[in-house]
Amino acid sequence: MSLWNYKFWKSSQFTFSSLVCKCLALVVAALVLRAVLFRSFLGFDVNGKPIGSDNLARVLDKNVDYGIRRDKFLEVPQIVWGLNNQKIAFARACLTARMLNRTLLMPSLSASLFYKEIDQLQPISFDKVFQFRKFNSICNGFVRLGQYSELLNQTEVLEMQKGSGRKWTLARDLDQLKEFSTNQYDQYEVIRIVGKHPFLWHDHWPIKDYAKIFEGLVLVDEFAKEAERVISKIRAVGREFSDNQVLAKKGEVDNEDSTKFSSIPYMAVHMRIEKDWMIHCKKLEQRSNINEICSSKEEIIQRVANIKAVNNPTVVYLAVADSLLEDNTILSGWKDGLLPFEKKKLGVSHIYDKYPYLIKSAIDYEVCLRADVFVGNSFSTFSSLIVLERTQKTISMGVPSSCNNNVGWPSYAYNVMGDLDGPKKWFTNMSDTSLQAVSYGSNRVSC
């Protein structure tokens, strides 16, 4: 072998050996790093000492909840007022917690309607009305509801004062939320909001975000079954009427007519004519200079009768707050083919009477939500949230709008004049950037 070839062979061998050494070094480094990380993942630090189980659980939990932290919490005041104002307050609290990247501690609702006398609020836990686990399952990765048993109480609670009055603007409220979402407040396990009731907090979120929260509010089985009992009774009344019609026309009814009678639909009318509502709506009309808020019993009956999409016969369930009703003639004056029933005539008063206000309202809400046709007042939060959910159901069927057809879950606003002297077709505008129209009422009903 020549001297030149020998030198080239030695040089190549040295280069190859160096490359092998570098590769081996990289492999060893990777294995060491993997071992360290793997030990950390299993619960050990770099010195082989165990990591606190709480800290490890939190790391894993963060991954499970897609960024909604389980170890930082938001606490809000007891939620009060009517059922649907409480729903909005709860949703606003959830979305506030989401903005702060915290878990909302399960708040107390109010079983009674006495919101001025604090000692008469009759607090009731959220999970006594709505399914706690179901909510977290439906809203997984969006918001999270936690329990007080999850607290470690390792730090003092930081109180966050919600502002009020004209000087506390939408922009100032948003700035406050942005400030409290920064890392400087991560040292506090719990941020407690004090001051204003959640329903009155400023609104920073699109209606679709609220709709996601409302979707997760599923009644506990006890109350869902009570609502089903009421609906079954309504359906039974319809079947009984249809059987009587068939018997009355015996020999004159063909198969098509028989099928029609056996599937009589029911319409739910949220009839807001109670004394407290009439006082409120008249004042609201004066302040807002709008005359499409209050509706008399006669006006409601007349407009409902002019809904062309409703076939006769139809059972009409009147959702009304009986204890506040001063008119005992609400079953009179309805057009032939519309069969009006309220709780007493339907024979379901005993179902409602054993529960406080909040549960009565929740049962009625479910009955109205599942009706074939719903008619309500667009300035009522109860009616507005029902229509929002019915709009969501219609959209989920692949129908972008039911304004020009009767597909899906048709709804109407009897306080706004529509076609042929009937009520205005009602479909929630899901592209709204706030809940303003739903939470405070409007005569703009999309259709």
Separation CA 68–CA 46 (nearest Å): 28
Q: What is the pLDDT of residue 66?
A: 55
Q: Are residues 304 and 189 in the same domain?
A: no
Domains in the chain: how many in total?
2
Contacts of 404 (CB under 8 A, 6+ apart): none
Q: Are strands 123-125 and 108-110 parallel, antiparallel or unpaired?
A: antiparallel
Q: Out of 9-18, 234-243, 298-307, 319-328, which region has the weakest mean confidence (pLDDT)? A: 9-18
DSSP single-letter state for residue 162: P
What's the mean pLDDT when you consider all of the chain? Answer: 82
pLDDT of residue 59: 39
C-alpha–C-alpha distance, residues 134 and 350, integer Å? 29
263 and 132 together in one domain: no
Which residues does 290 contact at the CB level (< 8 Å), separation at least 6? Answer: 284, 443
Dist. CA 411–CA 267, nearest whole Å? 10
**Sequence letter at residue 202:** H
Same domain, 435 and 364: yes
| 49 domain-assigned | no
What is the band of 51 on the pLDDT scale with cuts at 50, 70, 90?
Answer: very low
C-alpha–C-alpha distance, residues 164 and 154, integer Å: 31
Residue 337, helix vs strand vs coil: coil
pLDDT at 35 > cutoff 60: no
- How is residue 120 written in tokens? 């008469």
pLDDT (mean) for 69-88: 93
Residue 102 scores a pLDDT above 50? yes
**Does 199 share its domain with 267?**
no
DSSP-assigned letters across all residues of 78-126: PP-SSHHHHHHHHHHHHHHHHHTT-EEE--EEESSS--S-GGG--EEEG
Residues 297 and 414 both lie in one domain: yes
The sign of the CA dihedral 397, 401, 407, 409 is positive
Q: 145 and 75 share a domain?
A: yes
Same structural domain, 272 and 318: yes
Backbone φ/ψ region at 48: left (φ over 0), alpha (ψ -120 to 50), beta: left
What is the spatial distance between Cα 307 and Cα 313, in angstroms, rounded to a whole number? 13
Q: Is residue 214 part of a domain?
A: no
Could you tell me if residue 54 is inside a domain? no
Ranges 32-36, 168-172, 238-242: which has the least confidence: 32-36
Tell me what pLDDT residue 388 has. 95
pLDDT digits (tens, 9 = 90+) for 329-387: 899 999 998 999 999 999 999 999 999 999 999 999 999 999 999 999 999 999 999 99
- Phi, psi angle pair for 192, to nearest 5°: -110, 120
pLDDT, average across residues 7-34 = 51
Residue 133: give the domain boundaries: 63-204
Confidence of residue 29 (pLDDT cuts 50, 70, 90): low
- pLDDT at position 206 is 95
Q: What is the pLDDT of residue 260?
A: 46
Q: In this structure, are 182 and 88 located in the same domain?
A: yes
Each residue of 108-123: pLDDT tens digit? 999 987 655 656 678 9
Flag whether 28 is in a domain. Answer: no
Q: Are residues 269 and 147 in the same domain?
A: no
Check whether residue 156 and residue 267 sit in a common domain: no
Whether the per-residue pLDDT at 407 is higher than 80: the answer is: no
Highest mean pLDDT among 47-56, 309-318, 411-420: 411-420
DSSP 8-state assignment for residue 310: P
The gap from C-alpha 376 to its chain's centroid, in whole angstroms, comes to: 19
Report yes or no on whether pTM surpasses 0.85. Answer: no
d(CA 335, CA 325): 22
**Type of residue at 386:** I
- Give the pLDDT confidence score for residue 364 in this predicted structure: 96
Higher pLDDT among residues 391 and 256, named by residue: 391
Among 140-144, 227-231, 338-342, 406-410, the range scoring the smallest mean pLDDT is: 406-410
87 vs 286: CA distance, rounded Å: 28
191 pairs with which residues across the strands?
A: 74, 158
Strand partners, 270: 319
What is the average per-residue pLDDT within 240-256?
59
Which range among 19-28, 35-44, 138-147, 414-423 has the greatest average pLDDT?
138-147
313-344 pLDDT per residue, tens: 899 999 988 766 667 789 999 999 899 999 99
Q: Are 236 and 188 contained in the same domain?
A: no
Are 274 and 373 within one domain?
yes
Helices (H), 296-445: 297-305, 343-346, 349-353, 357-369, 381-396, 436-440
Whether 34 is in a domain gets the answer: no
